[in-house]
Amino acid sequence: MDLSKLPKLSDSPPPPSPPEPEREAPTANQPTALPHRHEDLGISVGAEVWIGAVFGLIFIMLGINFAKYSLAVLTGREYHTNVTWTEGERAGTEVKYPELMGDVIWNESSLFLFGVALVLEAIVMGIAGTGVRIKRPLVALAVLIAAAATLLNLIAAGKMFSDGIMPLMSLLAVAFGGYMTIYLWKLYQQLRPFSPAAAPTR
The domain locations on the chain are 55-62+102-191
CA distance 103 to 109: 10
CA distances 133 to 49, 68, 127, 199, Å, are 20, 33, 10, 22
Cα atoms in the 13 Å half-sphere on the side-chain side of 80:
3
Each residue's pLDDT tens digit in the chain (202 positions)? 554 554 554 555 555 665 665 555 555 444 444 444 444 444 456 788 888 999 999 999 999 999 999 999 999 999 999 999 988 888 889 999 999 998 999 999 999 999 999 999 999 888 877 777 778 889 999 999 999 999 999 999 999 999 999 999 999 999 999 999 999 999 888 887 655 554 555 4
